[in-house]
A and B are shown apart, each in its own frame.
Chain A
Amino acid sequence: MKLSSKTKNKQYLPYLLWILPLAFLGIFYFYPLGSIIQLSFSRGEGNALVSFWKAITNPTVRSVLGFTVWQATLSTLLTLLLGLPGAYLFARYQFRGKNFLRALMGVPFVLPTLVVAAGFNALLGPNGWVNTLLMELFSLSSPPIQFLHTFGAILVAHVFYNTTIVLRVVGDFWSRLDPRFSQAAQVLGGNRWQTLRKVTIPLLAPAVAAAALLVFIFDFTSFGVILVLGGPQFATLEVEIYYQTISLFNLPLAATLSLLQLGMTLLLTIIYTRLMNKISRPVQQRAERQTQRPLSTWRNKITAGVLIGILLLILTTPLIALGARSITHLTPSQGGKQGFTLAFFKALAQNPQESLFYVPPSTAIIVSLLYATITVLFALILGLPAAWALARGGDNVLNKVLDPLLMLPLGTSAVTLGLGFILALDQPPLDLRASPVLIPLVHTLVAFPFVVRSLTPALKSIQPNLHQAAAVLGASPRQVFRHIDLPMIGRALLVAATFAFTISIGEFGATSLIVRPEFPTVPVVIYRLLSRPGTLNYGQAMALSTILMVFTLSGMLAIERFRIADIGEF
Chain B
Amino acid sequence: MKTKLTLITLFIFTLSACGQVVTPTTPTTEQTSIPAPTQTKEQPTETSAKPETLTVMTHDSFAASDEVIQTFEEEHNVNVRFLEAGDTGTAVNKAVLSKGNPLADVFYGVDNTFLSRALEEGIFIPYHSPLLDDIDDRFQLDDQNRALPVDYGDVCLNYQKAYFEENDLQPPQNLEDLTEPAYKGLLTVENPATSSPGLAFLLATIGHFGEDQYLEYWQQLVENDLNVVNDWETAYYSSFSQAGGSYPIVVSYGSSPPFEVIFAEEEIEEPPTAAVVADGSCFRQIEFVGILKGTEKQELAQKWIDFMLSPTFQEDIPLNMFVFPVNENAELNETFQKYLAIPDETAEVSPQAISENREKWIQEWTEAVLR
Interface residues of A (CB under 8 A from B): 39, 114, 117-118, 121, 125-127, 148-149, 227-228, 231-233, 239, 242-243, 245-250, 329-331, 333-335, 341, 343, 353-357, 374, 377-378, 380-381, 415, 418-419, 422-423, 426-429, 431-437, 478, 482, 486, 512-519, 527-528, 530-539, 564-565, 567
**Which residues 174-198 of B sit at the A interface, judged by CB distance below 8 A?**
191, 193-194
Query: In the bound complex, do residue B229 and residue A149 qualify as a contact, i.e. CB atoms below 8 Å apart?
Result: yes
Known: A335-B265, A354-B67. 16 other contacts (CB 8 A): A114-B233, A126-B246, A127-B245, A232-B194, A247-B358, A329-B265, A353-B65, A356-B65, A356-B69, A381-B11, A423-B97, A431-B22, A512-B60, A533-B253, A533-B260, A534-B262
Query: In the bound complex, do residue A232 and residue B370 qualify as a contact, i.e. CB atoms below 8 Å apart?
Result: yes
> Can you list 17 residue pairs at the A/B interface with Cβ under 8 Å?
A114-B231, A114-B233, A114-B234, A117-B234, A231-B229, A331-B265, A334-B265, A343-B266, A353-B65, A377-B7, A419-B97, A423-B97, A436-B37, A486-B3, A512-B84, A516-B82, A537-B263
Of A434, A514, A518, A564, which one neighbours B33 at CB under 8 angstroms?
Answer: A434
Query: In the bound complex, do residue B263 and residue A534 qualify as a contact, i.e. CB atoms below 8 Å apart?
Result: yes
Query: In the bound complex, do residue B265 and residue A356 qualify as a contact, i.e. CB atoms below 8 Å apart?
Result: no
Q: Mark B244-260, 1 if CB is under 8 A from A, else 0.
A: 11100000110110011
Query: In the bound complex, do residue A512 and residue B86 qualify as a contact, i.e. CB atoms below 8 Å apart?
Result: yes
Query: In the bound complex, do residue A436 and residue B35 qualify as a contact, i.e. CB atoms below 8 Å apart?
Result: yes
* Residues on B with beta carbons closer than 8 Å to the beta carbon of A354: 65-67
Those 8 A-B pairs whose CB atoms lie nearest each other, nearest first: A534-B263, A246-B89, A536-B263, A533-B259, A533-B256, A232-B191, A227-B230, A356-B66
Binding stretch for chain A, among B44-52, B127-135, B235-243, B298-306: B235-243
Interface residues of B (CB under 8 A from A): 1-4, 6-7, 10-11, 14, 18, 21-22, 25-26, 30, 33, 35, 37-38, 55, 60-67, 69, 82-87, 89-90, 93-94, 96-98, 101, 103-104, 117, 162, 191, 193-194, 199, 228-234, 236-238, 242-246, 252-253, 255-256, 259-260, 262-266, 268, 272, 319-320, 322, 358-359, 362, 370
Docked CA distance A434–B319 (Å): 27
Docked CA distance A415–B97 (Å): 13
User: Known interface pairs A121-B238, A516-B35. Does A539 touch B265 (Cβ–Cβ under 8 Å)?
Assistant: yes
B16 vs chain A, min Cβ distance (A): 12
Docked CA distance A233–B65 (Å): 40
Query: In the bound complex, do residue A531 and residue B61 qualify as a contact, i.e. CB atoms below 8 Å apart?
Result: yes
* Residues on A with beta carbons closer than 8 Å to the beta carbon of B191: 232
Query: In the bound complex, do residue A534 and residue B7 qualify as a contact, i.e. CB atoms below 8 Å apart?
Result: no
Query: In the bound complex, do residue B237 and residue A118 qualify as a contact, i.e. CB atoms below 8 Å apart?
Result: yes
Query: In the bound complex, do residue A422 and residue B94 qualify as a contact, i.e. CB atoms below 8 Å apart?
Result: yes
User: Known interface pairs A331-B272, A334-B272. Does A536 touch B234 (Cβ–Cβ under 8 Å)?
Assistant: no
Of B21, B26, B69, B98, which one neighbours A435 at CB under 8 angstroms?
Answer: B21
Query: In the bound complex, do residue B103 and residue A422 qualify as a contact, i.e. CB atoms below 8 Å apart?
Result: yes
Query: In the bound complex, do residue B243 and residue A429 qualify as a contact, i.e. CB atoms below 8 Å apart?
Result: no
A129 vs chain B, min Cβ distance (A): 11
Query: In the bound complex, do residue A428 and residue B25 qualify as a contact, i.e. CB atoms below 8 Å apart?
Result: yes
Query: In the bound complex, do residue A516 and residue B84 qualify as a contact, i.e. CB atoms below 8 Å apart?
Result: yes
Of B26, B38, B255, which one neighbours A428 at CB under 8 angstroms?
Answer: B26
A19 vs chain B, min Cβ distance (A): 14
Query: In the bound complex, do residue A148 and residue B238 qualify as a contact, i.e. CB atoms below 8 Å apart?
Result: yes
> How many A-B contacts at CB < 8 Å in the complex?
219
User: Known interface pairs A232-B230, A422-B97. Does A431 touch B245 (Cβ–Cβ under 8 Å)?
Assistant: no
Of B87, B237, B319, which one neighbours A538 at CB under 8 angstroms?
Answer: B237
A84 vs chain B, min Cβ distance (A): 33
* Residues on A with beta carbons closer than 8 Å to the beta carbon of B233: 114, 228, 530-531
Query: In the bound complex, do residue B370 and residue A536 qualify as a contact, i.e. CB atoms below 8 Å apart?
Result: no
Query: In the bound complex, do residue A513 and residue B86 qualify as a contact, i.e. CB atoms below 8 Å apart?
Result: yes
Query: In the bound complex, do residue B1 and residue A482 qualify as a contact, i.e. CB atoms below 8 Å apart?
Result: yes
* Residues on A with beta carbons closer than 8 Å to the beta carbon of B94: 419, 422, 513
* Residues on B with beta carbons closer than 8 Å to the beta carbon of A514: 85
* Residues on A with beta carbons closer than 8 Å to the beta carbon of B97: 39, 419, 422-423
Query: In the bound complex, do residue B11 and residue A377 qualify as a contact, i.e. CB atoms below 8 Å apart?
Result: yes
Query: In the bound complex, do residue A519 and residue B83 qualify as a contact, i.e. CB atoms below 8 Å apart?
Result: no
User: Known interface pairs A39-B97, A248-B358, A356-B65. Does A519 touch B37 (Cβ–Cβ under 8 Å)?
Assistant: yes
Query: In the bound complex, do residue A437 and residue B18 qualify as a contact, i.e. CB atoms below 8 Å apart?
Result: yes
Docked CA distance A148–B237 (Å): 13
Query: In the bound complex, do residue B98 and residue A422 qualify as a contact, i.e. CB atoms below 8 Å apart?
Result: yes
Query: In the bound complex, do residue B265 and residue A330 qualify as a contact, i.e. CB atoms below 8 Å apart?
Result: yes
Of A331, A353, A436, A519, which one neighbours B320 at CB under 8 angstroms?
Answer: A353
Docked CA distance A518–B41 (Å): 12
Q: Which of A239, A431, A433, A518 has the most CB of B within 10 A?
A: A433
* Residues on A with beta carbons closer than 8 Å to the beta carbon of B322: 532-533
A48 vs chain B, min Cβ distance (A): 18
Docked CA distance A419–B117 (Å): 16
* Residues on B with beta carbons closer than 8 Å to the beta carbon of A114: 231, 233-234
Docked CA distance A537–B320 (Å): 13
Docked CA distance A518–B228 (Å): 35
* Residues on A with beta carbons closer than 8 Å to the beta carbon of B86: 418, 512-513
* Residues on B with beta carbons closer than 8 Å to the beta carbon of A117: 234, 238
* Residues on A with beta carbons closer than 8 Å to the beta carbon of B117: 249
A332 vs chain B, min Cβ distance (A): 10
* Residues on A with beta carbons closer than 8 Å to the beta carbon of B82: 356-357, 516-518
User: Known interface pairs A114-B234, A247-B362, A249-B93. Does A377 touch B10 (Cβ–Cβ under 8 Å)?
Assistant: yes
B98's nearest neighbour on chain A, judged by CB, is A422
Docked CA distance A535–B268 (Å): 12
A409 vs chain B, min Cβ distance (A): 19
